[in-house]
Structure 1
Amino acid sequence: MVGSAAGAEAHGGPLVVGVDGSEPSLRAADWAADESALRGVPLRVVYACLWDRYEGVALALDVGRPTEPPLPREVVGAAAERARARHPGLRVTTDVVFEEPGSALIRAARSASALVVGSRGRSGVAGMVLGSVSLTVAAHADCPVIVLRGSHDNQATPPVHGLVVVGVGEDERESSVVRFAAEEARRRGVPLEAVRAWRCPVHEPGGHPLTAGVPTRQYEERAGQVLEAALADLPADVEVRRRTAEGHARRALVDASHRADLLVVGARRREGHLGLQLGRTAHAVLHHSACPVAIVPHRGHDAR
């Protein structure tokens, strides 16, 4: 499939990172700087906020309340300075957009090769696993969205664990997901582990004692076939590890995230659908992954 995400990257679109002055968002900017350098594309730092909130912060600063958050221009400036310090040759631009953050970042994603956000921002509610802006962007953006989950050590390079993991689904239109993961592994010089989960339906317990285990083997073999088909066209210079896992895909991928630098999953986009366009697997890993999660959109008719 050749979609808008693939087109943006093919044309060298910038990597966009959303910041709001919170520590998680500045760490996301550090990670995004590494990723931009890996890709050889510019970094665009975006701060989006509503105008009335901006005016309130400015007024608070004018009356001498130093505990208030910094002004948006100061936030993007600080993030850009950090990015340039990490990679002196990196092209960095900044934008302040007076718009609801989720909408502004989704719009920015239309011309981006990828979009990076922290798991929670300044408005995050204590106890929430994933912020509402991060979830909204991951569910609707046209380009791959990387959410900085877990302990990522503020870096995309050098690799910490030395592994990229991708969840392989049944849909042939998900080939873009596997290609994205393979390219991320190639850039980092690390292996790609492709995981395909399988389950034996509860109404097929194994039948006659003499044929016990046959249905189980059939489903496991089918998972292996799906895995091979998904990986058939990957570049030869990417080391690929294949793994089938019995059970729910979301559990297998969350478990794998503990030894990965990046976890890649697909999310089907449906034309005209206004709700959250994330399947159960993508939703689960966004909330529970131990490493950054890349949500790669692809087009389809039904939610997974």
Structure 2
Amino acid sequence: MDLLPIVVGVDGSEAALRAVNWAADEATLREAPLRLVYASLWERYEGAALAHDLGKPSEQVRAQDIVETAARRAHRRQADLKISTEVLPEEPEYTLVRESRSASLLVTGTRGRGGITEALLGSVSLTVAGHAHCPMVVVRASHDNEVRPVPHGRIVVGVGEKPTTPAAVRFASDEARRRGAVLDAVRAWRCPAHETTDHPLLAGEPSRMHQQQAVEVLEKALHDVSADVETRRRAVEGNTRNVLTDASRAADLLVIGAERHHRHFGLQLGRVAHGVLHHSACPVAIVPERD
């Protein structure tokens, strides 16, 4: 049976080409095909104006040129990759969410060509991350500044309140196995202010209780991880977004789950995921957790 492709949303920006680099390496690890998709209504309505703003002749910003440039980049990165391209005159959010239905992984960057366009393309990635049907990796503009970054050998997964929904842990475990990396499971915990006490005999008891609960959640979350994956468990006191952002500084990939509710059609991306996407020091994988 043919493997589902890794789909990359490309837009001609350097950030998107960094995402192509990351996806080409991942496709090689998975022995999966790579599919490069350009979707925009700009070519229909604003192609000439966009070319003028960029100071380039219109033929240099045509959609076909964009996907062909991305394909050449991927082939330079991984010469044996099977690559296909698609140009669609559609809204990118709609197209990428639809593409995620038949992809093993969806990959995007978050920055565009500059100014208002930069903010717009960032919002595309955030919108798609809140609705994608398959796992999605967001490679921010600051990632992969080197041609081939030195790996940390560490995949971080954020463990939330519901360890019984293990899609994110499974994804992170598979990534760690492919890369021969350590799976670092992190659970942030905090002691509510109303539970603290100044009594010298009780000092520290509420904190120890919450820390122990976090350790138990980690144990449950990692219960089914294969023994051939080296795992570490860390219960860290602090704000979840800050704890995961700190952990990302020495990671190759940060993995977090995102709940998907079948009867809810709005943006399904929580505050932690939204914050991590903006501040992570490494690429972030958003893995749907179905209710």
- CA offset digits 1:194-227 (Å, max 9, x no partner): 0001111111113643122111111101100000
Q: How does 1:211-290 map to 2 (within 5 A)?
A: 211-290=202-281
Contact 1:173–1:298 (8 Å) recurs in 2: no
Aligned residues: 288
CA distance in 2, matches of 1:270, 1:100: 23
Q: 1:164 and 1:285 mapped to 2: Cα distance?
A: 15
Match of 1:167 in 2: 158
Paired with 1:167 and 1:190, the residues of 2 have a C-alpha distance of 16
2:88 aligned residue (71, 89, 97):
97
Q: Distance in 1 between matches of 2:121 and 2:31?
A: 29
In the other structure, the counterpart of 1:81 is 72
Give the residue type in structure 1 aligned to 2:162.
D
Residues 23-71 of structure 1 show CA distances to partners (whole Å, capped at 9, x for unaligned) of 1111111111111111111000000011x63354269879xx7355511
Q: Aligned AA for 1:225?
A: E
Report the CA distance shift for 1:129/1:230 in structure 2 as closer, same or farther (over 3 A): farther
Residue 85 (structure 1) shift: 2.1
Q: Is 2:43 aligned against 1:53?
A: yes
Amino acid at match of 2:185: A
Task: Please show how residues 149-228 of structure 1 align to structure 2 within 5 Å.
Answer: 149=140, 151-153=142-144, 159-206=150-197, 208-228=199-219
Q: CA RMSD in A?
A: 2.5
% identical aligned pairs: 56
Match of 1:66 in 2: 56
Partner of 2:8: 17
Question: Contact conserved, 2:157 with 2:185, CA < 8 A, in 1?
Answer: yes
Q: Report the CA distance shift for 1:59/1:243 in structure 2 as closer, same or farther (over 3 A).
A: closer
Task: State how far apart, in whole Å, the 2-side matches of 1:208 and 1:130 are.
Answer: 53
Please give the alpha-carbon distance, in whole angstroms, between the structure 1 residues aligned to 2:95 and 2:114.
16
The separation in 2 between residues aligned to 1:92 and 1:122, in whole angstroms, is 24
CA distance in 1, matches of 2:112, 2:164: 33
Cα offset, 1:129, TM superposition: 11
Label 1:156 to 1:247 Cα distance change in 2 as closer, same or farther (>3 A): farther
Residue 261 of structure 1 deviates from its aligned partner by 1.0
Secondary structure at the residue paired with 2:166? helix
Task: Say whether the 8 Å CA contact 1:263–1:292 is kept in structure 2.
Answer: yes
Distance 1:61 1:117 in 2: 23
Residue of structure 2 equivalent to 1:112? 103
Greater Cα shift, 272-281 or 94-103? 272-281
Whether the 8 Å CA contact 1:34–1:157 is kept in 2: the answer is no
Q: TM-score, normalised by structure 1?
A: 0.87
Specify whether residues 82 and 40 from structure 1 end up closer, same or farther in structure 2 by C-alpha distance, changes over 3 A only: same
